[in-house]
Amino acid sequence: MWRLAGVVVGVYAAVCILSDLGAGISDHPVGGVLLITTYLIPGLLVAARARRDDPAWAFLSAGMIAYGAGNLYWFLRIRDMNPEPLATWADALWLAFYPACAAALALLLRRRLPRLGTTAWLDGLIAATAVAALVSLPLLAAVEPAPHSSTLGVVVNAAYPLSDIAVTGCLLGVWALCGWRADRVLGLLIAGMGLFAAADAVSMILLWQGVEMPRTLDLLWIAGLFLLAMAVRQPSGRRETGPPNIWLSTAVPAGLAFLSLGLLIFAALSERSVTTVTSLLAATAVTAAIIRMIASVRTAEQLGAARRMARTDELTGLANRRHFIESLDRELATTGGPLAVAFFDLDRFKEVNDSFGHDVGDSLLRLVGARLRDAVRDPVLLARLGGDEFALLMPGMGRDDAAAVVNRLLSTLRKPFLLPEVDLHVDASVGIAVHPDDGADRSTLLRRADVAMYAAKHGHGGPVFATGLDDHARARLTTLEELRAGLDRDELVLHYQPKVTVGPERRVVGVEALVRWQHPVRGLVYPDAFLGTAESADLMGRITGAVLDLACRQSRAWHDQGLAVPVAVNLTVSNLRDPAFPDQVAALLERYRLPASALELEVTESVLMTDADNALKRLGTLRDMGVRLAVDDYGTGYSSLGYLQVLPADDLKLDRAFVSRCGTDPRSAAIVHSTVQLAHSLGMRIVAEGVEDDEILDRLREYGCDYAQGYGIARPQNAAWLAAHAPAPVTAAPAHR
């Protein structure tokens, strides 16, 4: 269809050129048909491509078809009149083109730019009014009504130049609103309506001056209409193809504002008259430019403040992590000399929060930050990385200089802090890494400083340099780093050790979830190799959360297989200190659609001895939910009997230290026997841990023990073991470790 349209336009262009050369072909009926067809084709092309859900193109096609219909009416009814009326029904159809295009442009702009800032709107207003003022100066000054003009004719024909001025201004205004970007759709619309406005302007000037219009002028209108139609052919998903042009967005509004100001000065000083419309448009552009300048200054101030806030710690006013990282990168890029990085971590800060509340903790952090800032001298940068962790960037400093700076800060820090609630003494663990000895890049330096800081927490005394760590400390702290990454990558897995009845059938009544770490290089890592390190780094809460999730997920799978076997999970101190922990357990049970009886939580006596009041409160809440509770490793603590009076426990798990020797040591046998009786007297079930052989099982059966677990029954296995063995009795296995 487009090729056919091109042929028609080419033929009509030849007719227009020949007519202007005196051939008179355009007066022939064929010339009239070509005229009407050529004007109608672009609107029909747009209508054919317009989608029902896209009203912008529907408005555009309606305006273009109305314009073509106006030419049809003119050719059939007006062309042969002499003189030709200045106001006809053709004018109504032609003028309908402008509001239809304005509606299309507004809808298109709204869809493409749903949100516009104040600056964008001001740029659009400056561009629209300034260009309209510059165009109106020659256009309105050059035209005068013909002698036979009526009032209606003057009004109707004045609507054309005014509409052209509005269209011309809006075109550049739209470009401004779009950030002065390169955009194919908007480019075609701007070019098409620009040609259309130019043709209208020339036509009005010639008409009002009584000059006969050349037929080739039609080619400008037609070219403009076809450019508008081509905009509709662009892919519907196309948007601005580049970032906003910063140079244009600054230079163009400024240039237009200066031109408008010059136009106003010209109107004031020149004897040549300037229309009121032109003066008003120019004044509007200048006013908008002044407002834009004020808005730009305020925006710059806000951006500066936002940038400072983005690089400043809100609590202490020190540099934040982003500022620290940016500065470190800049120093590494610009200097090849020595540079030291130090990590400060306040000792026992968690105890301050737990004992006095977070408000006191925040007050302490503010005081620490202020004292450290007063003690720091240029070029050292002090930053708070988060929580109770601070950092120093020491450009140009090697090992000795860095140690001197850190020791001076530590000495300053150890003076008591006077708070309204309490006077506190604070110390810090500090790790230092030096460039280039400890690393040539940012990631290595920070990692080594972090490792050294954790080494300092384990009793080295004073600041610890990364280069001074022994192999054992390096290995342990490397394990900590890898464990953190492993938690992020979900590398923890669970093995399950069954608990069985002590009777001859040895029926599986539950399993204990035991965590393992599936290391990508070292393979399966057992808990004794990483749990101690995790506890020292406050990672036990995360590990327990991951274990609970894995256990509940597996329990759901077993329930779906018809195996309603309770799963036991060990708790830590951090779990029982967390007020939200019972809600976390409830959420997991709900998520996996499990009854509370599917989960059993085990606590050791050492856990109960730490913050006992809160621990008992959390355990009571869990028990009220229906979750079973067990005291693990019973007999290894110092206050078990006291807590058994108030502890809401269902099971008592006797430590393997007594169970494994009850067949050979009379004292151990007596302890096991009496503990079984004690548990039953308190309404608890007794679980014997560390069962190694059938002889111990027989002895436990004699004592009336309820359940047992140990390597002599079954080693911890993966989840598939239970599905294969739970329905059948479990036979004793050799005690291999």
Residue 205, both tokens: 């000037």
pLDDT(736) > 50: no
pLDDT(596) > 70: yes
Q: What is the mean pLDDT of residues 593-622?
A: 82
**Dihedrals φ, ψ of 116, to 5°?**
-130, 140
What would the DSSP string read from start to end of 71-123?
HHHIIIIITT-SSPPSS-HHHHHHHTHHHHHHHHHHHHHHHH-S---HHHHHH
- What pLDDT does residue 714 have? 86
Q: Which residues contact 43 (CB under 8 A, 6 or more apart)?
A: 61, 62, 63, 64, 65, 66, 67, 68, 225, 229
Largest CA distance in the chain: 134
Which carries the bigger pLDDT value, residue 269 or residue 316? 316
- What pLDDT does residue 303 have? 60
Reported confidence tier of residue 642, pLDDT bands at 50, 70, 90: low
Which carries the bigger pLDDT value, residue 309 or residue 682? 682
- What pLDDT does residue 239 have? 47
- What pLDDT does residue 382 have? 92
Q: What is the mean pLDDT of residues 54-70?
A: 83
CB atoms within 10 A of CB 212: 7
Provide the mean pLDDT of the chain. Answer: 78
Residue with tokens 């009997």: 641
**Is 401:340 a contact under the CB 8 Å cutoff?**
yes
- What one-character DSSP code corresponds to residue 441? S
pLDDT(304) > 70: no
**Sign, CA torsion 127/130/131/132:** positive
- Does the fold of domain 484-725 match that of domain 321-469? no
List the Cα angle 653/656/659 in 5-degree steps. 90
Which carries the bigger pLDDT value, residue 11 or residue 611? 11
Residue 617, both tokens: 């409160």
pLDDT tens per residue, range 201-250: 777 667 666 667 777 777 888 888 888 888 777 765 444 444 555 555 66
**Is 733:711 a contact under the CB 8 Å cutoff?**
yes
To the nearest 5 percent, what fractions of the chain are helix, strand and coil? Answer: 60, 10, 25
In the chain, domain spans: 2-294, 321-469, 484-725
pLDDT(157) > 70: no
Distance CA 448, CA 452 (A): 6
Q: What is the mean pLDDT of residues 359-388?
A: 89
The pLDDT > 90 percentage for the chain reads: 15
Residue 557, both tokens: 């799978």
484-725 falls under which CATH superfamily?
A: EAL domain (3.20.20.450)
- What pLDDT does residue 594 have? 93
Pick the CATH number of 321-469 from 3.40.50.11240, 3.30.70.1520, 1.10.10.10, 3.30.70.270: 3.30.70.270
319 alpha carbon, distance to own chain's centre? 23
Residue 725, both tokens: 């063995």
- What one-character DSSP code corresponds to residue 211? P
Distance CA 86, CA 510 (A): 99
pLDDT(592) > 90: yes
- What pLDDT does residue 730 have? 40
Q: What is the mean pLDDT of residues 148-165?
A: 65
Strands 523-525 and 508-519: antiparallel
Distance CA 452, CA 466 (A): 5
Distance CA 206, CA 212 (A): 7
- What pLDDT does residue 46 have? 81
Q: Which of 234-238, 333-337, 374-378 has the lowest mean pLDDT?
A: 234-238
Residue 594, both tokens: 């499990």
Q: Which of 300-304, 381-385, 412-416, 426-430 has the lowest mean pLDDT?
A: 300-304
CB atoms within 10 A of CB 16: 23
Reported confidence tier of residue 734, pLDDT bands at 50, 70, 90: very low
Sort residue 24 into left (φ over 0), alpha (ψ -120 to 50) or beta. left
